[in-house]
Structure 1
Amino acid sequence: MASSKNVVFDIVGTLVSYDYLYNAIDHRLGDRLRAEGVKPSLLGQAWMETAEREYTNLSISGRYQPFAKVLEALFYRLLWMGGIKEPRNFASPEDLAYIMTEYQSLTMRPGAAECVKKLRDAGFTVWAFTAADLKRVGGYFEKAGVPLPAENLLSCDSVGIGKPDLAAYKPLLDRLTSENEGKKPWFAAAHMWDVSAARTAGFKGAYCTVLEMEALTNLFGEMDVIDATLPGMADKIIADQAAF
C-alpha cells in the first residue's frame, strides 16, 4: 500500500551540492581567472544562475532544452560577461569538456543522506523532481548509499516543461494527491524560487537555507517549514505531519 506521506525533493542545489563543479573550475582555470580578478566560485554561481534563467526562458516560450545543454552553451558568454575579452582564447574546448565531465560527478551535501533516512524511517516516501537527466541524478543517490527507485525519480525532460512553470509540478501533485485521499504532499528545496512555486501549485513547502542563506519571504512568501540544515528540515516536516 502506498504511503500517505510523500516528500518531493529538488536535487541539484538541494540534496546535491554545486561545490564539485566550482572546484573543477578552480582546478582547470583558477589561476587564469584570478589573474583577471574573477573568483572561480563566483563564476560558477553566475554560470549556474544564468543557465537556470535561460533554461526557464526557453521553456516558457515553448522551446524547451535540457538543462545541461543550456549550461554548456552559455560558458563562453559568461566568461565574456565576467570581463574576459577573448573568452575562446582564454579557455579551450578541452577546458570546457573537462568541466562539463566533472559536472556529471556532483556529490550529496553533508546531511543529505541523513535527511532522506529520517523521512523514510518516519514513513515518508521520497521522490525526486529535477531539471537534470535521470541517469545522472540516480547516480548521485547510488553513490551516496541512498538509492532511489527509478519510479520515484522524475525529470522535467520527460514532459518538456521546466520548473518553476506551475504546469511542471501539476502532474506529480495531482497523482500524489489523488492516490492519498486529497492529502497534500511536500515539496522540499534549497531554491526558494522552486519550493515557493511548488507551494503555489498546491504542495506543502519545506525550504532549507543551506544554499541561499536568506529565505526572502518578503519576495517569495511564507513556507510551512524552514531550517538551516537538511536533517533539521526533515525533523520539522515529520513534526508538522504528526500534528495533523
Structure 2
Amino acid sequence: MRTYRTRVALLAASLLLTGCGGGLAASPDSRPGGTASDGAPTATPGAPAPGGTAGAGTREIPGLGPKTRAAVPATARQVVVAAGRGRDSPLSTVVLYHRTADGWQAGTAWPAHNALRGWTDRHLVGDLRSPTGVYGLTDAGGRLPDPGAKLPYDRSARGFVAPGTGFEGEPLAGAFDYVVAINYNREPGTSPLDWTRPLGAERGGGIWIHVDHGGPTHGCVSIAEPHMRDLLRTLDPALRPVVVMGDRDWLAR
C-alpha cells in the first residue's frame, strides 16, 4: 500500500470550512482554466469508461469549446467532465470520457451537485462556488475500505468524516466515504487530507469529487455512491486523468 505525507493536524471539523474537504486547496500547475500537470506516468490506452462502449467514438468531447479543449493535456486519456447547468446553479452532470483509437468514448451521464452558488473563475474561501478549470486527478481516499481504486487510496475512518447537515437540511454522513482529490490548490501525490495550499489559504481548497448527500456542496462535485465506486475503479494514473469542470457556458468557450 502506498503511503502519503498526511498532515495529522487536520481535524474532522475543519472539513467544512471551505470546499467540501475543508481544504483551503490548488497546485501551481493546476490554475483555473490552465493545463493540469500532475506528474503521472505516460498515458497508454485502455478500456472504455463505465457505461461506455467499444463502438465509434467522437473526435472531440461534446460541449467543450476551443479554449477549454486547449487546456486539456494531450497526454490525458481519461477526462471527467463536470458540466454545471448554469453559472449560479448547484446542479450539474458528470461524464467520464476515455480516449481510444476510435476517439473519445463517453461513459454514462451521472447527475451531480456542485457548490451552492454555482461556479467561479477565482475561487476564494467561503464563496460557496466551485472553481472552474482543468485539474489533475492523482489521489483518492475515504472513510470506507479501498473499493479497488487504481489511484493511491488513503483510508481514514476519522479524517474523512462529514458532520452535521447540508444546505437543504440533508445529513452529510457518508459524503466522504469515497473521495477523489481535485488538484486545485493542493500538492499532487499527497492524501486528499493534506493541508498544503500552494496558492495560499485564502484561495480555498479541499475540492473533491465525493459521495452525493442530496444537496449542494461547499465547492466540491458530488455523485451517487455507486458512481463513486465506478469512478475509483476506473480512473487510472497511467492514463493521466483530469477533470474539466465549470458551467456549460464556461466549458463551451
Using structure 1 for the length normalisation, give the TM-score: 0.26
Q: Which structure dedicates a bigger proportion of its chain to helix?
A: 1
Task: Give the greater-gyration-radius structure (CA).
Answer: 1
Q: Which has the higher contact order (CA 8 A, sep 6+)?
A: 2
- Normalising by structure 2, we get a TM-score of 0.25
